[in-house]
């Protein structure tokens, strides 16, 4: 029988470790729950709920070390923010969908919801660490508490959560955080000899030539930076939430202190050992050295 784990009021230490994917403790949920179509990112078509042909009986990927070479680049970009292990071992108490096939449909429905909640936890955890946003830390902390409470709901209750409405509330706080942090950064750098570039939310920068650009404190929320040349660009304290970095060239770029950058964004980009990253993120293994 599936065990329901309701919120107990006790949270683990708040850091990024619990919000990072731990595939060794997941039932291969991203390989089952998510659909994909044959494209530059995936070699085959797969429907939601259909296990990937590469998923083994132990829930490991049979071609993990050669995903890109075999046409599964999309798998190397995806990040669940730790939702996989949460659903596997908390929401469903360690009972996998193969042993308990009656839970499979429910687990597949819950996983994308948990992934969204964990993504919000990532952003809120980062926001609480940003000192210029201290005036709204109480509101951020309340939002984090509520988001984390939702992640401990039973499967049936989780499926009823209005994630869109909750995300809108969280996003308002993240936007205010960004404004406070970037305003402080721009005050510090207002005497810069370089002319800083400014962009509006969702800017179309596909293929843009931004090598060496001073983008400190820039608002790049939702920007389309696909195949953009950002070599040696200064992206410190830039708001990068939702920015599309597919095939963007980040070699030598400085992203230390950038706001709301995720591992999935980096995984989709190109970079090298000279690309500077926030300490919570790592250089993807496919980047040049």
Residue 226 lies in a domain: yes
Residue 27 lies in a domain: no
22-32 burial code (b ≥16 CB/10 A, e <16): ebeebbbbbbb
Contact between 103 and 97 (Cβ < 8 Å): yes
Residue 201 lies in a domain: yes
Please report how many Cα atoms fall inside a 13 Å half-sphere around the Cα of residue 225, on the Cβ side: 30
> Which pLDDT score, from 0 to 100, does residue 17 have?
80
Residue 251 lies in a domain: yes
Answering whether pTM is above 0.85, one says: yes
How far apart are alpha carbons 251 and 42 in whole angstroms? Answer: 25
Please report how many Cα atoms fall inside a 13 Å half-sphere around the Cα of residue 213, on the Cβ side: 20
Q: Domain count for the chain, please give it.
A: 1
> Which pLDDT score, from 0 to 100, does residue 10 have?
35
Extract long-range pairs of 269-277: CB within 8 Å, 24+ residues apart.
269/245, 275/250, 275/251
Residue 229 lies in a domain: yes
pLDDT by residue (tens digit) across 187-246?
A: 876 645 455 566 778 899 999 999 999 999 999 999 999 999 999 999 999 999 999 999
Residue 203 lies in a domain: yes
289 residues of the chain, pLDDT tens digit each? 333 333 333 334 467 788 999 999 999 999 999 999 999 999 999 999 999 999 999 999 999 999 999 999 999 999 999 999 999 999 999 999 999 999 999 999 999 999 999 999 999 999 999 999 999 999 999 999 999 999 999 999 999 999 999 999 999 999 999 999 999 887 876 645 455 566 778 899 999 999 999 999 999 999 999 999 999 999 999 999 999 999 999 999 999 999 999 999 999 999 999 999 999 999 999 997 6
Structural domain including 227 reads 191-289
Residue 118 lies in a domain: no
Residue 257 lies in a domain: yes
Q: DSSP alpha helices (H): ranges in the chain?
A: 30-33, 73-77, 83-86, 104-128, 137-151, 155-158, 163-188, 263-268
Q: Domain holding 251: CATH number? A: 2.160.20.80
């Amino acid at each position: 029988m599936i065990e329901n784990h309701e919120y107990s009021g006790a949270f683990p230490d708040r850091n990024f470790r619990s919000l990072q994917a731990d595939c060794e403790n997941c039932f291969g949920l991203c390989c089952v729950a998510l659909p994909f179509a044959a494209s530059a990112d995936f070699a085959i078509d797969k429907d939601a709920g259909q296990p990937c042909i590469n998923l083994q009986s132990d829930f490991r990927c049979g071609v993990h070390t050669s995903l890109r070479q075999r046409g599964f680049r999309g798998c190397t970009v995806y990040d669940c923010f730790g939702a996989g292990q949460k659903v596997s071992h908390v929401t469903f108490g360690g009972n996998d969908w193969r042993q308990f096939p009656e839970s499979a449909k429910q687990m597949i429905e819950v996983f994308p919801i948990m992934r969204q909640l964990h993504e919000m936890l990532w952003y809120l955890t980062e926001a609480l660490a940003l000192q210029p946003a201290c005036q709204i830390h109480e509101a951020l902390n309340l939002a984090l508490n509520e988001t984390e409470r939702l992640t401990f709901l039973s499967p049936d209750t989780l499926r009823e959560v209005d994630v869109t409405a909750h995300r809108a509330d969280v996003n308002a706080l993240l936007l205010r955080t960004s404004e406070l942090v970037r305003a402080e950064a721009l005050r510090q750098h207002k005497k810069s000899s370089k002319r800083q570039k400014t962009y509006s939310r969702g800017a179309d920068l596909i293929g843009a030539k931004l090598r060496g650009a001073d983008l400190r404190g820039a608002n790049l929320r939702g920007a389309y930076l696909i195949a953009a040349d950002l070599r040696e660009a200064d992206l410190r304290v830039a708001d990068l939430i939702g920015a599309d970095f597919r095939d963007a060239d980040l070699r030598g770029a400085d992203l230390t202190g950038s706001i709301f950058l995720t591992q999935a964004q980096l995984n989709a980009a190109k970079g090298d050992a000279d690309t500077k990253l926030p300490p919570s993120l790592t250089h993807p293994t496919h980047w040049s050295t």
